[in-house]
Amino acid sequence: MAGFTNKGKYRLLETLRGVSLPTNFYAHLCDSTTAPDADTNTLSQLTQISGSGYAAISLTKNTTDFSAIVEDDGNDDSELTLKDLTWTASGGTLGAARYLVITNDDSTEGDREVWFYFDLESDQSVSDGQDLNLGGFKLKIAES
């Protein structure tokens, strides 16, 4: 399951009124305590994993971090592909991550607005020294 939060939809539509997008976005890993959904507004509503080398990954608005965009007239949608992400466990087990969320760049981490979310479908963990590699994330906009 992947989706836009209502806050993310609102912020994207604001750009049509001249409001600037954030300078960067951040990829955060959250545990299964609380599942993100369309009504999630800020990162503080979720439980981010911590320790063992974990830190949010900064995403720049460019063709490297948001690598491909496709217009699909056959399915009447468009999608944007997010680059593959890697976290390396350091000093213990990294995880258990269940959700990937993409936030804006508010300087107070808990106040960052959650724009998009992805369910990893099961808890993801790696041991000390191993990499947690996540990829294949697509943001899709479609009419219903």
pLDDT digits 0-9 by tens, 98-115: 999 999 999 999 999 999
pLDDT at position 132: 97
Asked if 78 and 140 touch (Cβ cutoff 8 Å), the reply is yes
Is the link from the previous residue into 68 a cis peptide, with omega within 30 of 0? no
- Domain ranges for the chain, please list them: 2-142
Residue 52 tokens read as 């063992």
Evaluate if pTM is beyond 0.85: yes
User: CA 74, 118, 52, 59: dihedral to nearest 10 degrees?
Assistant: 50
pLDDT at position 143: 78
